[in-house]
Amino acid sequence: MITRELNIRSSSTQNDEDIKVTTRPFVASFILIGGVFLLLLGIGASISVGAVDIHLKTVWEAVFHFNPELTNHQIIQELRMPRAIAAALIGAFLAVSGAIMQGMTRNPLASPSIMGVTEGSAFMIAIAFAFFPGTTYLGLLIWSFVGAGIGASLVYTIGSFSKGGLSPVKLALAGTAVSALLSAISSAIAIHYHVAQDISFWYAGGVAGAKWVSVQLIIPVAVIGLLLAFIMARSFTVLSLGEEVAKGLGQRTIIVKAVGTIIVLLLTGAAVSVAGSVGFIGLVIPHITRFLVGLDYRLIIPCSAILGGLLLVLADIGARMVNPPFETPVGAITAMIGVPFFLYLARSERRGL
Amino acid sequence: MEWIQNKLRKSFFIMSIIALFIIISLFMSLNMGVIRIAPMDVLKTIAGYGTEKQELVLFDFRLPRLIIALLIGAGLGVAGAILQGVAQNELADPGILGINAGAGFAVVLFIFFFQGSTASLGMLSIFVMPFFAFIGAFVAAFFIYILAWKKGVTPTRLILVGIGINAAFAAALIIFQLKMNPNDFMQAAIWLSGSIWGTNWKFVLATLPWVILLIPLTLYKARYLNVLNLGDSLATGLGADVERERRILLLIAVGLSGSCVAVGGGIAFLGLVAPHIARMLVGPKHQFLIPASALVGAFILIIADMIGRNLLAPSEIPVGIVVSVLGAPYFIYLLMRTN
């Protein structure tokens, strides 16, 4: 394995200590090329597997020689394709925002699933279902987008303003408390207005309900968010060395943090609004990626995007295979993968990044 | 000596005041509801001169429910006090640690796979259910303890592992929940958010033995909790078998929260808030702290139940939601304050 080392000389440290950032560009390019190939294969498989199994050849024809007379082509175009594409995009969103959160806060437990994003979004959806029953699909997406922002901002604010700063435990506990509060209020609304199961289906539904509308909504987010993330990658690398170091190197950390937060809110908001509660991808994938490609965010961000997309596409296929013809909530499957990983991180002594 | 006498007298005084508050709130709660019964009529009915309808409402619906609230509140308050003492962390709570989630999962499994539905709960299953809840709570606590163990258990690791276990049970629950029919789903959703749904005397009988046995046992063990608070090495030096006592105390907390969850659902934050308030009132000595936590817990739950029943009447807000809305901000406040 070839390892390149970026040496950054820090002017803030008195003893001229070199800070080494290990990167593995070869592994990264391997992941990017192999990952894209696997992702395309996964999307193909995701389109062909389901209540009706459709041959891959038919999938190809439906995409490139669409014939509206054939039912299978209709299923592919109207149901399976948006679902597979949404899964790939949302997996990428969650993984990239997790990577940015972990880098910015230097907190290994930072991730969308413990930041109150889902509950915030469920809270707004509960309000929408209860008080504005006629809300369109697009309207619901926007409501949940706003809610995701509210949840994450609350957790982040409480964590940052508390005595002793934003430690991993603080963040996890603040996330738990805010989630409990928001979900208590939304349960009260849901029970009083009899919309509990509607909300749960929206939330546990994963990407099953994704339509072209949702894909259209998240594609601009994908372009803006992922592009911004990639442009900012270098700054994230510097910031991930620590705020003091970053300042010493001349970075205006406030701007980087602000842009980072906007990217995170954009990506997680979009992800939650379409797929609901899909936990732990944003926690697991950045760690695995960092382990594979090193600490340079120019490599981490694209690689996590690919791996995150791949994981959600596969988990979504899994959700359909566990108990056919019923769908298992994809969030439950990602939680089954993610919880052991979370426990491993909780046990490990190394809590900084 | 005189100092201890004073302290004792002061604590008894404070506890009797809380007890008085509990009696007043019980009485108020008996008046209120969809069918209002005037205070004089309540007294008359209790004395045996009420109408048949008043007797039915009071003795068959409100009184058992309030007694259950009393028992659950006391049980969860004490469970929280034990956990905070054992974990040496004032943010510990059976809900946050995932013990309630384990118990809740076991009860949901029991109801929907062995019973078919909530409607047909027989006498036997009411008494078996707390045992199921206990097993669920025990499994959760066991996993938390084992996974947090790494040459000892640090408070931070205990809490982080608890959050993880909580997430795992939540994921497992949602899988089963979405398979239910809408009615059962509603029931499960209400119950999981914490609701005193068994409102007859059988449930009182099912909970009573657990609370009556385990709270005095905790009081008997209170001195170990005091010693544990001094830190592990000092406790060992004083002759306490630290790990053994910690396990016994954990087991008591698991028993209490399991049996309370079986009847009251996943009421979170009560086990957190009650010991805190109790500590402010009577100080950190567990001989006083434990009975005070029981009293404060019972008081909070009766008030929350009253709010839940009457705020949006005739629909009922599950009591756990009321407790969460009151307790979560307090938790956040504590979180921001502690280092």
For the segment B228-242, what is each residue's pLDDT rounded down to a tens digit?
777 777 777 776 677
Which residues face A20 on adjacent strands?
A7
Q: What pLDDT is stored for residue B198 in this prediction?
A: 61
Do A196 and B186 make contact, defined as CB atoms within 8 angstroms?
yes
Q: Which residue does chain B place closest to A331, by CA atoms?
A: B171
Alpha carbons B65 and B48: distance in angstroms, whole number: 20
CA atoms within 13 A on the CB side of B90: 19
CATH number at residue B208: 1.10.3470.10
Region of poorest pLDDT, from A162-166, A273-277, B213-217? A162-166
Is A332 in Cβ contact with B175 (below 8 Å)? yes
Please indicate whether, in this complex, the C-beta atoms of A191 and B318 are within 8 angstroms of each other.
yes
Per-residue pLDDT tens over the stretch A113-157? 777 787 888 888 888 888 887 777 778 778 888 888 888 888 888
Shortest CB distance from B91 goes to which of A173, A196, A201? A173
Give B175 or B77, the one with higher predicted confidence. Answer: B77
Q: Does residue B8 surpass a pLDDT of 70?
A: yes
- To the nearest whole Å, the CA of A116 is away from the closest chain B CA by 13
Cross-chain CB nearest to B315 (options A169, A192, A338)? A192
* Bridge partner residues of A18 (DSSP): A9
pLDDT at B127: 73
Among A residues 146-185, those touching chain B with beta carbons less than 8 Å apart: 158, 161-164, 168-170, 172-174, 176-178, 180-181, 184-185
The DSSP symbol for B339 reads -
Q: How far is A201 from chain B (nearest CA, A)?
A: 8
Chain B hits for A176, Cβ within 8 Å: 96, 163, 166
CA distance A164 to chain B (A): 5
| Average pLDDT of span B70-94 | 87
- Judge whether residue A57 has pLDDT over 50: yes
| Per-position b or e across A116-143, b if 16+ CB within 10 A of its CB | bbbbbbbbbbbbbbbeeeebeeeebbbb
Would you state the structure tokens that stand for residue B55, as one six-digit string? 């007797």
- Res. A17: pLDDT tops 50: no
Beta strands in chain A (DSSP E): 4-9, 18-23
Task: Please give the residue that has the higher pLDDT: either A240 or A350.
Answer: A240
Q: Using the structure block, give the residue that is written with the tokens 């509960």.
A: A126
Among candidates A161, A329, A339 on the partner chain, residue whose Cβ is nearest the Cβ of B178: A329
Does position B193 have pLDDT exceeding 50, yes or no? yes
Mean pLDDT across the stretch A228-246? 85
Pick the more confident residue, B3 or A286.
Answer: A286
Query: Is B193 close to A185, i.e. CB distance below 8 A?
Result: no
- How many CB pairs (< 8 A) connect A and B? 143
% of residues, chain A, pLDDT over 90 = 8
Chain A residue numbers with beta carbons less than 8 Å from the beta carbon of B166 are 176
User: What percentage of chain A exceeds 70 in pLDDT?
Assistant: 89
Check whether B137 has a pLDDT greater than 70. Answer: yes
In the chain, the amino acid numbered A328 is T
The reported pLDDT for the residue numbered B315 is 72
Distance from CA of B38 to the nearest CA of A (A): 28
Whether A278 has its CB under 8 Å from any CB of chain B: the answer is no
- Condensed to tens digits (0 to 9), the pLDDT of residues B250-309 reads 889 988 988 888 888 778 888 888 998 998 888 888 888 899 999 999 999 999 988 888
Q: What pLDDT score does A13 carry?
A: 40
pLDDT for position A1: 39
Cα–Cα nearest to A112, from A232, A282, A324: A282
pLDDT of residue B114: 67
Structural domain boundaries enclosing B139: 2-337
Q: In which band, very low, low, confident or very high, does the pLDDT at B122 lie, cut at 50, 70 and 90? A: low
Higher pLDDT pick, B128 / A305: A305
Percent of all residues in chain B with a pLDDT value above 90, rounded to a whole number: 9
The pLDDT score that the predictor gives to residue A16 is 40
Nearest-Cα residue of chain A relative to residue B173: A332
Q: Do A343 and B164 touch (CB under 8 A)?
A: yes
Q: Is the pLDDT of residue A9 over 50?
A: no
User: Cβ of A187 and B174 within 8 Å?
Assistant: no
Residue B142 distance to chain A (closest CA, Å): 14
A178, A197, A332: residue with CB nearest B182 = A197
How near does any CA of chain A get to the CA of B163, in Å? 8
Range name among A95-109, A324-338, B46-60, B271-285 with the lowest pLDDT average = B46-60
Please report the pLDDT score of residue B58 as a whole number: 74
Q: Is the pLDDT of residue A170 over 70?
A: yes
Q: Could you say which residues from 227 to 256 on chain A have a Cβ atom under 8 Å away from some Cβ of chain B?
A: none
- DSSP codes, B239-286: T--HHHHHHHHHHHHHHHHHHHHHHH----SHHHHHHHHHHHHH-S-H
pLDDT value of residue B154: 72
Task: Tell me the C-alpha distance between B240 and B29, whole Å.
Answer: 44
pLDDT of A51 above 70: no
Q: Report how many domains make up chain B.
A: 1
Q: Which residues in chain B have their CB less than 8 angstroms from residue A201's CB? A: 178
Q: What does the pLDDT average to over B156-163?
A: 80
The rounded distance, in Å, linking the Cα atoms of B306 and B322 is: 10
Residue A342, chain B, CB below 8 Å: the answer is yes
Tell if the CB–CB gap between A342 and B147 is shorter than 8 Å. no
What is the structure's pLDDT at A20? Answer: 57
Q: Which of A163, A184, A196 sits opposite B336 (nearest CB)?
A: A163
Whether pLDDT at A3 is above 60: no
Three-state SS for B44-92 is HHHHCCCCHHHHHHHHHHHHHHHHHHHHHHHHHHHHHHHHHHHHCCCCC
Query: Which of B146, B335, B337, B338 to mutate against chain A (most A CBs within 10 Å)?
Result: B335
Taking the CA of residue B277 and the nearest CA in chain A, the distance in Å comes to: 18
The answer to whether the beta carbons of residues A124 and A143 sit under 8 Å apart is: yes
Residue ranges and CATH numbers for the domains of chain A are 85-347 (1.10.3470.10)
Q: What's the pLDDT at A6? A: 47
Average pLDDT for residues A250-258, to the nearest whole number?
81
Residue B292 neighbours by CB distance under 10 Å? 27
Per-residue pLDDT band at A308 (split at 50, 70, 90):
very high
Weakest-pLDDT range from A74-78, A175-179, B17-21, B267-271: A74-78
Rounded to an integer, the average pLDDT of A297-302 is 89
Query: What is the least distance, in Å, from the CA of A290 to any CA of chain B?
Result: 22
List the single range of A56-70, A139-153, A220-234, B203-217 with lowest mean pLDDT.
A56-70
Mutate to test the interface with B, among A202, A203, A341, A347 (most CBs of B within 10 A): A347
B252 Cα to chain A: minimum distance (Å): 25
Report whether pLDDT(A339) > 60: yes
> Span A87-94, mean pLDDT?
92
Residue B194: C-alpha distances to residues B72, B159, B261 (Å): 11, 22, 8
**Would you state the pLDDT for residue B86?**
83
Residue A7 has pLDDT above 50, yes or no: no
In this prediction, residue B6 has a pLDDT band, given cuts at 50, 70 and 90, of confident
Averaged confidence pLDDT in chain A: 80
Mean pLDDT in chain B? Answer: 81
pLDDT band at A69 (very low <50, low <70, confident <90, very high): confident
Q: What is the mean pLDDT of residues B175-201?
A: 71
pTM: 0.77
Is the CA virtual torsion A55, A56, A57, A62 positive or negative? positive
Contact A339 B175 (CB under 8 A): no
